[in-house]
Amino acid sequence: MDDIRAFLSRKPLLFDGGMGTYYKAAPGTDCEQANLTDPAGVRKVHAEYLAAGADAIKTNTFSLPRLAAGHVPGWEKLADAGWKLAAEAAAETGAAVFADLGPAPDTEAVPAAQVYTAVAERFAALGAKNFLFETLSSDVGILEAVRAVKAQVPEAFVLVSFAVLPDGYTREGVYCKDLVRRMTESGCVDAVGLNCVSAPGAMRTLARGLAGGALPLSVMPNAGYPVVTRTQVRYQGKPEYFARELSGMAAEGAVRILGGCCGTTPAHIAALRAALDALPERKLSAEPAKLSTTEVKPVENDDAFLRKLNAGEKVIAIELDSPRNADLTGYLEGARKLQAAGADLLTIADCPIAQARMDSSLVACRVHRELGMCTLPHMTCRDRNLNATKALLLGLYAEGVREVLAITGDPIPTAERDEVKNVYQFNSRKLAQYIVSLAGEDREMPTPMTVFGALNLNARNFDVELRRAGEKLENGMSGFLTQPVLSEQAVENLRRTRETLGSRAKILAGIMPVVSQRNAIFMENEINGIHVDEEIIQKFAGLDRTGGEELGLAISLEMARKALPYADGFYLMTPFNRVALMERLIAQLRTEVLQES
């Protein structure tokens, strides 16, 4: 085939379908292994798609980035064989061959950019001129790899395609318009698009929202939505429907590159070929309209806590764990007392230590509704996937809750609770990015929610914790609630945080009264992220409950004074639901500490 760019100026480019679902690999075997174990079978699939009318085919190498990242021996041989089989098949018809790269995991040890670059350069050395990075849920590492490809093969044509749910977000919570904008602005990507996850009808709606960009748009939907049986996953979308929806996109001028993903067979591609051939040829205008890059300006929410915080006043947030049973009577009374004592915000943990309690978001809504108090529910990545998270966020917004605390969450101890599964679809940084992306023009929320994060002042390697704090800010967080300040080192780390992050971050210093020596020893040894100085532990020796509370208050006030120069307020943690103790602490903070500032 001649240059892809020239081809696209005349008519749409038609890809093949889903190799991974059409080729029947042995159960538990990567389809790519067939490049070596069954080359005739792989070549036959390529030939069927070409006979159906495909202008371009993908190498059978989707999983190579994952295999390369895991240092699986022999991935290079799979790349070589996959390229050879596709090139041989395409030579008979003159079709284009795209080196196919699926998603790569991104870790500190092996960054995604390193993996993508290594695999892409392998293909470039084999003679590849066209590259497809597909089924991506983020763009981490992609542009670095594309630039490396262009340095090695300046004439290369690179298509980057993202897997997007029908609501426009990837499984990692990144909005498709933001991804398309970043690819467009990069100056090194030649085409951008969507593939997998969504069926043709949903993808047509998404494509309309992305149409008019400076880059050619690609769509490669699944044949339909999957039907899971006992032994396999099936896609029941009919070829005729598939062809009608996709050719409609081409007729509208929304897309220039089309093809299929999971469940699409040669019959789907043949039907689409016939539909495309029936369309009149269409030439692109010399200067296509550019995708808008205007960023949505945040709109300040009408929230008393945020107004006070942003005005530079010191605030007090207090955490009160939700009940273990279904009775909120006592909890609401405790919240009412803390509000009367002077708390600006009530925070509610999301099943702390991975033990089930009443849902933090539902409790936050009830408190806000009945008491008019600002609330900050914690939201972990442990127990909800993307859909459940979005549903909950929309409910919170509708109830007037405007702040959330995004945290990864304590893992569930698997040895004790084998029947309960962790989710962890994303980490706290990606969750924050997702939450703030829900607001804006044509999005789900008219104004953004404010996202806070956790900051562990007691981390053994605080340099790493501080670096991650900066990353959290870059991903949309506005500030941090810290772990308890119960040591001089914690105070020093708080000072470093303020010095490093400056005014970019609002910081609420954690204050948690220790109430007994047993309590101090337990927190030191069993609660992740808390460190209690040995000197403090020994001070509680022999004290009764009254004496322990008095000493706990005194230490809390001392730590608050030390933390105050570096904090925008305090985040108080209530031990054992002792509301009366926290009423006293709030009163003393207001009269003895905050007055001094």
Residues 24 and 141 placed together within one structural domain of the fold = yes
The confidence score (pLDDT) of residue 25 equals: 55
The rounded percent of the chain whose pLDDT value lies above 90 is: 80
Domain for residue 139, yes or no? yes
User: Where is the domain boundary, 216, 251, 277?
Assistant: 277
Of 515, 519, 537, nearest in space to 527 by CA: 519
Residues 332 and 262 placed together within one structural domain of the fold = no
- Say which DSSP state 53 is in: T
Residues 320 and 385 placed together within one structural domain of the fold = yes
Element (H, E) at 96: strand 96-101
Instruction: Give pairs for 166-169: CB < 8 Å, separation 24+.
Output: 166/198, 166/202, 166/205, 166/206, 167/390, 167/444, 168/206, 168/209, 169/386, 169/390, 169/434, 169/437
Residues 266 and 412 placed together within one structural domain of the fold = no
How far apart CA 364 and CA 349 sit, in angstroms, is: 10
Domain for residue 289, yes or no? no
The rounded percent of the chain whose pLDDT value lies above 70 is: 91
The confidence score (pLDDT) of residue 300 equals: 40
The confidence score (pLDDT) of residue 295 equals: 47
**Cβ partners under 8 Å of residue 531, min gap 6:** 458, 486, 487, 489, 490, 524
Q: Say yes or no to pLDDT of 327 above 50.
A: yes
Terminal CA-CA length for the chain: 73
Q: Is the dihedral of CA 480, 484, 490, 492 positive or negative?
A: positive
Residues 337 and 259 placed together within one structural domain of the fold = no
CA 528 to chain centre: 24
* Confidence label for 2 from pLDDT (cuts 50, 70 and 90): low
Counting the structural domains of the chain, the total is 2
Give the CATH number, domain containing residue 445: 3.20.20.220
The confidence score (pLDDT) of residue 287 equals: 43
Domain for residue 524, yes or no? no
User: Where is the domain boundary, 259, 277, 295?
Assistant: 277
Check if the beta carbon of residue 100 is closer than 8 Å to that of residue 65: no
Domain for residue 290, yes or no? no
Pairing of β 226-228 and β 233-235? antiparallel
Q: Say yes or no to pLDDT of 197 above 70.
A: yes
How far apart CA 110 and CA 464 sit, in angstroms, is: 17
262 is annotated as contributing to ligand binding: yes
User: Where is the domain boundary, 233, 249, 277?
Assistant: 277
The confidence score (pLDDT) of residue 306 equals: 93
The confidence score (pLDDT) of residue 423 equals: 63
The confidence score (pLDDT) of residue 508 equals: 98
351 is annotated as contributing to ligand binding: no
Q: pLDDT higher for 352 or 330?
A: 330
The confidence score (pLDDT) of residue 283 equals: 52
| pTM exceeds 0.85, yes or no | no
pLDDT, tens digit, 9 for 90 and up, residues 79-114 = 999 999 999 999 999 999 999 999 999 998 999 999
The confidence score (pLDDT) of residue 234 equals: 80
The neighbour count for residue 230, using CB atoms within 10 Å, is 4
How far apart CA 586 and CA 553 sit, in angstroms, is: 10
DSSP per-residue letters across 457-517: TT-SSHHHHHHHHHHHHHTT--EEEEEE--SHHHHHHHHHHHHHHGGGSEEEEEE----SH
Total length of the chain: 597
Q: Say yes or no to pLDDT of 207 above 70.
A: yes
How far apart CA 588 and CA 593 sit, in angstroms, is: 7
Residues 123 and 249 placed together within one structural domain of the fold = yes
User: Span 122-142, mean pLDDT?
Assistant: 97
Q: Which amino acid is at 184?
A: T
Check if the beta carbon of residue 563 is closer than 8 Å to that of residue 595: no
The neighbour count for residue 362, using CB atoms within 10 Å, is 17
Element (H, E) at 44: helix 39-51
* The two three-digit tokens of residue 564, written as one number: 């105050």
User: Span 153-158, mean pLDDT?
Assistant: 97
Of 518, 517, 496, nearest in space to 505 by CA: 496
User: Span 333-351, mean pLDDT?
Assistant: 96
Domain for residue 522, yes or no? no
Q: Say yes or no to pLDDT of 564 above 70.
A: yes
* Confidence label for 206 from pLDDT (cuts 50, 70 and 90): very high
pLDDT, tens digit, 9 for 90 and up, residues 136-149 = 999 999 999 999 99
- Say which DSSP state 297 is in: P
How far apart CA 52 and CA 246 sit, in angstroms, is: 16
* Whole-number Cα distances in Å, 337 to 60, 329, 350, 460, 523: 64, 13, 22, 37, 26
Residues 262 and 352 placed together within one structural domain of the fold = no
pLDDT, tens digit, 9 for 90 and up, residues 208-244 = 999 989 999 999 999 988 887 666 778 888 999 999 9
The confidence score (pLDDT) of residue 569 equals: 97
Domain for residue 469, yes or no? yes
The confidence score (pLDDT) of residue 297 equals: 40
pLDDT, tens digit, 9 for 90 and up, residues 240-281 = 999 999 999 999 988 999 999 999 999 999 999 999 999 876
Residues 36 and 148 placed together within one structural domain of the fold = yes
* Confidence label for 288 from pLDDT (cuts 50, 70 and 90): very low
The neighbour count for residue 234, using CB atoms within 10 Å, is 12
Q: Is the dihedral of CA 78, 83, 86, 88 positive or negative?
A: negative
Residues 114 and 13 placed together within one structural domain of the fold = yes
Residues 270 and 317 placed together within one structural domain of the fold = no
pLDDT, tens digit, 9 for 90 and up, residues 490-542 = 999 999 999 999 999 999 999 999 999 999 999 999 887 899 999 999 999 99
Report, in this order, helix, strand and coil percent for the chain, each rounded to 5. 45, 15, 40
The confidence score (pLDDT) of residue 26 equals: 53
How far apart CA 180 and CA 193 sit, in angstroms, is: 8
The confidence score (pLDDT) of residue 415 equals: 47
Residues 318 and 422 placed together within one structural domain of the fold = yes
* The two three-digit tokens of residue 425, written as one number: 């679809």
Check if the beta carbon of residue 264 is closer than 8 Å to that of residue 271: no
The confidence score (pLDDT) of residue 413 equals: 52
Pairing of β 56-58 and β 96-101? parallel
Domain for residue 291, yes or no? no
Mean pLDDT of the chain: 91
The neighbour count for residue 229, using CB atoms within 10 Å, is 8
Domain for residue 149, yes or no? yes
Of 502, 340, 351, 365, nearest in space to 417 by CA: 351
Give the CATH number, domain containing residue 37: 3.20.20.330
Which range, of 383-392, 416-425, 428-437, 480-489, averages the lowest pLDDT?
Answer: 416-425
How far apart CA 71 and CA 475 sit, in angstroms, is: 30
196 is annotated as contributing to ligand binding: yes
Residues 264 and 396 placed together within one structural domain of the fold = no
Instruction: Determine the structural domain holding residue 192 and report its residue range.
Output: 4-277
Locate all alpha helices (DSSP H) within 311-461, ordered by sequence: 329-341, 360-371, 386-398, 428-437
pLDDT, tens digit, 9 for 90 and up, residues 13-38 = 999 999 999 997 555 567 999 999 99
* E strand residue ranges, 246-291: 257-258
